[in-house]
A = this chain, B = another copy of it.
Amino acid sequence: MVVRDDVHDPEPEFGQVLVQVKACGICGSDLHFAKHGATMLALGQEMEGMPDLGRVQPDLGRDIFMGHEFSAEVLEVGPDTIGPKPGTIVTSIPAMLTLTGVKDLVYSNDLPAGYSERMLLSAPMLLEVPNGLGFDRAALTEPMAVGFHAVNRSGIEPGAGALVLGCGPVGLAVVAALQVRGVAPIVASDYSPARRALAHRMGAHVAVDPAEEQAFDVWAREGGGRPLVAFEAIGVPGIIDEALRSAPPQARIVVVGVCMERDAITPFFAIGKELNLQFVLGYDPMEFEATLRSIAEGEVDVEPMITGRVGLDGVPDAFRALATPDQHCKILVTP
């Protein structure tokens, strides 16, 4: 990882807006990609059935821009382009619309992303940050949208309860989305006391230390016989199988954690209890917008999740700090 100061400011073209990044969260998937990038790209090649949206795989032999959880201030609107006035605070789904396809601002060789001073965004994708919401909190729209999407996609019904395995940023985003939806009880589990405390602040009714008691046992006691939707937000090998082994019959397990390795499961457990595994990823534009509104209207207070702030030159150290998850939740890069 290098901090470069020789990248020229991009020029906004038609349909584009040049922005100054105000804050950008460091995502666990960036750490994943730094470690497993080649595996991820190879698996992406192996996977079939995906529509071709003109996406181009990044070249790991060249520099890669990262940073996809950002808020920014509009500096300049491209020629003949309708966009917000300079000075407006905005956020956006991390993707650029171009005439040759959608270009993700997640891992790109060409387009500066959120770990930059300035970047280009697509004018039609911009969302003005409402209600005077601070740019720090606006930068959490993206990770929180992942939780909102997972809860939407779970189809959790009135009367069902939830168990959230893992209280990193993804698990906490799920807890927050469940809380907004009024789900009760929400049982969350994490080995870290700091993360359990955060889970409580984001809306969990019970926070379990799995070193003391198995999360599904606590659910059995707290759930009151309700249908269970469990959210797997850990993403390491073995967790899915552990959930299959321990879940009650007819439970639905939503896999939000992204395990990059091959993993072993015991189908017998899932068959015997007729379990359902719903794998989810990302969010859609309407969910992104709804999440921003939910934060701006105070339904979700993301402030406790922000545990550190660094400048651009602090990114390498922040990546190292996030490898020991007990100390931090979300570190913002504020150029």
Contacts and interface: CB of A to CB of B under 8 A. Distances in A.
Nearest to A272: B47
B49 A248 contact: yes
A281 B249 CA distance: 11
A258 interface: yes
A121 interface: no
Given A49-B248, A245-B47, A275 B279 contact: yes
Chain A, interface SS category: mixed
Given A270-B255, A274-B281, A277-B277, A46 B153 contact: no
Contact of A268 (B43, B51, B249): B43
Contacts of A47: 245, 268-269, 272-273
Contacts of A271: 255, 258, 279-281
A49 B247 contact: yes
Given A46-B245, A49-B246, A274 B266 contact: no
A105 to B, nearest CB: 18
- Among A48, A153, A258, chain B packs the most CB atoms within 10 A around the CB of A48
Given A44-B272, A49-B247, A277-B279, 20 more contacts: A47-B245, A47-B268, A47-B272, A48-B245, A49-B249, A49-B273, A50-B249, A50-B272, A51-B249, A258-B268, A259-B267, A262-B265, A262-B266, A263-B265, A264-B265, A267-B279, A274-B279, A275-B279, A276-B276, A276-B277
